[in-house]
Chains A and B, each alone.
Chain A
């Protein structure tokens, strides 16, 4: 898993991501994110990296505890 910066225009990417979610309900945003995750996963295409990314995302300490 690469954790060094690689996105050429980070602010531009983030703005595009926010723009894609603009005006969506919570459910629509969740659907959009899910589609995006799957599309990006296929770009990566490396099983070990994908599993490492899932682990890294799961370990985020700021995630709210389950209700």
Chain B
């Protein structure tokens, strides 16, 4: 029997536990913002706040990144996440380390039945996707947070109890040097799928567990395959079951194999068993070494509300979906970016508590949509009855010959920046604005994310306003967090060059048209013929100034 080798373990960074001042004192210190959990969502939030100049405490029970060693976990980072990372200053690092891709192919047996090119709909500076092992993303976020120097990072600090108070939350923490208690105006739970905070507060999760079983193999080999997302509905080298194949950093491939529902999960993850599977896939002449192997059974849950008083749930603590389409980690990163600017404006006294309610009003429906989309993919991939098998066979058979049926082949609908439903703070609903390349009137290049990286304000893009109007608009919005920019014209405002791609993406058709973009790059309002008063009113609406807390 062939034996299979493991690569040497990846060296993950370790950060020191520093005893916090509270340990030596009996006085309970109150912090405005405490984040629990240094995974992708908690780290993104801490980094987003720090980038905005807002201090936070970040507690994590570990002192490194990743879990279960250097397992790859979430590997596909979607354009919206990459745009957020660009704003936070780590996207270049991620792009340099990771694998950029936009093309996906789906196979049935040995035949390609469907493909897609996500680049076709993109006007962003960021690519549709970059693949990177999750621990690298966490690693880069931690280093950026340390560089920004505003976050109180507390490693080896496990939250043992939270007590909701009338005006905040009391938090009990256990460390290697003893226990202490702090209070927070607001606590953000980013502790993941098994959140002990959520459990302790007794919040219903509506969870369900799939019977579908998978085995993940992170493996390094040399075989000239394109950097594309390849999926098989029924792979000949996996006994007619599903397979995912993706390249990540360091020449490591992530391959997910669908297993029989009644499989022995320990056995399928043994190197000899996983190795035999891979040998069949790669052929006899390709040398490979494993980096990590593990079984995987997915589940889902969704909280009814992501806000409970002074406690906010983000990422997997709030929602878990099946992995097809990369809507888990990306959704958590977007939760963080949705909440970050709102917490910042509240901390800076420029918005009230009502703005924080909009986090739940926007991200809960997004998670609900992701749950629906991923559940449909999961059901296509694991038919539940003979009738479902029959229908899927029909789809796959027709897809090989007829384009219409290719749209029904569902091996995952890739993560998008979800639209937000119409709400008091978003009368037209919200839609993400991509990271458009821009050019100042004098020819200097910039991007939307560069404009949004400075401070916390909305951006108003106004097509060729008149000078008097521009001056009046500056006066009407002087006390509000707005950076007003013109597109073309001679208004005296800082001016971007008019560009057809830009105005089409923004939905501005005529001179005088105005688009209000929030700090999370969501379009809050479109005014076809803006007036200074209407502009100020749209801004107040977007910041929930008029909503009673």
**A residues with CB within 8 A of B:** 27, 30-31, 34-35, 37-39, 42
Q: How far is the CA of A35 from the CA of B390 in the complex (A)?
A: 9
Interface centre among B394, B395, B398, B404 (most CB of A within 10 A): B394
Given contacts A38-B398, A39-B398, contact A31 B405 (CB under 8 A): no
**A31 and B408 contact, Cβ closer than 8 Å, known pairs A38-B398, A39-B398:** no
Residues of chain B within 8 A of A31, CB atoms compared? 390, 393-394, 397
Closest chain-B Cβ to A34's Cβ sits at a distance in Å of 4
CB distance A34 to B405 under 8 Å?
no
Residue from A27, A35, A42 within 8 A of B394 (CB atoms) = A35
Q: Is the CB of A38 within 8 A of B390?
A: no
CA A35 to CA B404, docked complex, whole Å? 12
Given A35-B397, A35-B398: A42 in contact with B404 (beta carbons within 8 A) = yes
Chain A residues closer than 8 Å to B387, beta-carbon distance: 30
Least CB distance from A41 to B in Å reads 9
Residues of chain B within 8 A of A30, CB atoms compared: 387, 390
Q: Which of B348-407 contact A (CB under 8 A)?
A: 387, 390-391, 393-395, 397-398, 402, 404-405
**How extensive is the interface on chain B, given as a class?**
10 to 19
Contact A38 B393 (CB under 8 A): no
The total of interchain contacts (Cβ-Cβ below 8 angstroms) comes to: 26
Residue with the highest number of chain B CB atoms closer than 10 Å, among A27, A30, A37, A38: A38
Let me know if A34 and B391 touch, CB within 8 A: yes
Chain B nearest CB, measured from A37 CB (Å): 8
Across the interface, name the chain B residue whose C-beta is closest to A30: B390
The smallest C-beta distance from B409 to any residue of chain A, in angstroms, reads: 12
Say whether B393 contacts A34, CB under 8 Å. Answer: yes
Complex: A42 Cα to B408 Cα, angstroms: 11
Shortest beta-carbon distance from A19 to chain B in Å: 19
Query: Are B404 and A34 neighbours in the complex by a CB distance under 8 Å?
Result: no
Q: Which residue of A lies closest to B405 (CB)?
A: A38
Q: Which residues of B contact A (CB under 8 A)?
A: 387, 390-391, 393-395, 397-398, 402, 404-405, 408
What are the residues of chain B within 8 A of A27 when measuring CB–CB?
A: 390
CA distance A22 to B421 in the complex (A): 52
The CA of A42 and the CA of B394, in the complex, are separated in Å by 13
B390, A34: Cβ atoms under 8 Å? yes
Q: Can you pick out 8 interface pairs between chain A and chain B where the beta carbons lie within 8 Å of each other? A: A31-B390, A31-B397, A34-B393, A37-B394, A38-B395, A38-B398, A39-B398, A42-B402
**Chain B residues within 8 Å of A34, by CB:** 390-391, 393-394
Which residues of the partner chain A approach B391 to less than 8 Å between Cβ atoms?
34, 38
CA distance A35 to B391 in the complex (A): 8
B66 CB to closest chain A CB, in angstroms?
44
Residues in A neighbouring B395, C-beta threshold 8 A: 38
Which of B391, B395, B397 gathers most chain A CB within 10 Å?
B391
Quick one: closest A residue to B404, CB to CB?
A: A42
CB distance from A65 to the nearest CB of B (A): 16
* Distance to closest chain B CB from A56 (angstroms): 18
Q: How far is the CA of A39 from the CA of B402 in the complex (A)?
A: 9
Cα(A42)–Cα(B404), bound, Å: 7
Alpha-carbon gap, A31 to B404, bound state (A) = 18
**CA distance in complex: A37, B390 (Å):** 12
**Which residues of chain B come closer than 8 Å to A38, judged between CB atoms?**
391, 394-395, 398, 405, 408
Assembled-state Cα–Cα distance A34/B397 (Å) = 10
Q: Which chain A residues lie closer than 8 Å to B397 at the CB level? A: 31, 35
Q: Give the Cβ gap from B376 to chain A, nearest Cβ, in Å.
A: 15
Chain B residue nearest to A45 (CB atoms) is: B404
Query: Given the complex, which residues of A lie within 8 Å of B404, measured CB to CB?
Result: 42
Q: Give every chain B residue within 8 A of A35 (Cβ-Cβ).
A: 394, 397-398
In the assembled complex, the Cα of A31 lies from the Cα of B388 at a distance in Å of: 11
Cα separation A42 to B397 with both chains bound (whole Å): 15
Q: Which residue of A lies closest to B408 (CB)?
A: A38
Query: Which residues of chain B have C-beta atoms less than 8 A from A42's C-beta?
Result: 402, 404-405
Give the distance in Å from the alpha carbon of A38 to the alpha carbon of B394 in the complex: 8
Give bound CA distance, A48 to B395, whole Å. 21
A37 to B392, CA, bound (A): 12
A6 to chain B, nearest CB (A): 22
Q: Whose C-beta in chain A lies nearest to the C-beta of B407?
A: A42
Besides the known contacts A34-B394, A39-B398, A42-B404, 10 further A-B residue pairs in the complex with CB atoms under 8 A apart: A30-B390, A31-B393, A31-B394, A34-B390, A34-B391, A35-B398, A38-B394, A38-B395, A38-B398, A38-B405
Kindly report which residue of chain B lies nearest to residue A35, judged by CB atoms.
B394
How near does chain A come to B179, taking the closest CB pair, in angstroms? 57
Q: How far is the CB of A28 from chain B (nearest CB, A)?
A: 10
A27–B390 Cα gap in the complex (Å)? 8
**A43 → chain B closest CB, angstroms:** 9
* Closest Cβ neighbor of A37 among chain B residues: B394
Q: Which residues of A sit under 8 angstroms from B394, Cβ to Cβ? A: 31, 34-35, 37-38
Closest 3 CB pairs of A and B: A34-B394, A42-B404, A35-B394
* Least CB separation from A36: chain B residue: B394
Q: Which of A30, A31, A34, A37 has the most CB of B within 10 A?
A: A34
Nearest Cβ distance between residue A31 and chain B, in whole angstroms? 6
**Chain B residue with Cβ nearest A27:** B390
The residue of chain B having its C-beta at the shortest distance from the C-beta of A41 within the complex is: B404
Distance, CA A31 to CA B393, complexed state (A): 7
C-alpha spacing A34/B393, complex, angstroms = 8
A58 to B393, CA, bound (A): 21
Nearest Cβ on chain A to B97's Cβ, whole angstroms: 43
Closest to B399 in A: A38
Q: Return the chain B residue nearest A43 by Cβ.
A: B404
With the chains together, A38 CA to B398 CA distance in Å? 9
